[in-house]
Structure 1
């Protein structure tokens, strides 16, 4: 059981490292910390594997939501396509904010 929890936490940590935006990183970190805290709380309250897994799942969900909600909002980015067909990401221009003025 401890091996399974450790493997799940390592996998979550590895996936959190693949996040590309601060919000994704914060969500992954929140889910990881929430899963750990939930697993510990579930084990302390229920004392069996089922309680530990329920606690870990609940903690991961709550931690992910809180991490996402507390992430700083940066500048909005938009995707553009150049005349050559290349797609790139850049800050949105003023037309983006004019109620769909594209």
Structure 2
């Protein structure tokens, strides 16, 4: 297929991305009692080991998602443990941002 098809696919993909972000932002805000705050698992740029739970205003959600933050609260990290050699091992959650789209969720079905 020609380059036109790949450009069309990119354009449609961007539309779905914006629609999904808007739908998630609105549904999350209404699900938590119509508050104007949204829970985010914040991965500070340049320091992803320092994940933090924060609540932000709806207008800031898109910017946070754009730099890798995740909707909702961070999963609990495991406590530090000592391995068989006596070294302290600390487990920090690692995240791989993934965007998942479903036609049903976008269309509200």
Shorter chain as normaliser: what TM range? under 0.3
Larger Rg: 1
TM-score scaled by length of structure 1: 0.26
TM-score scaled by length of structure 2: 0.25
- Structure with the bigger percentage of helix: 1
- Structure with the bigger percentage of strand: 2
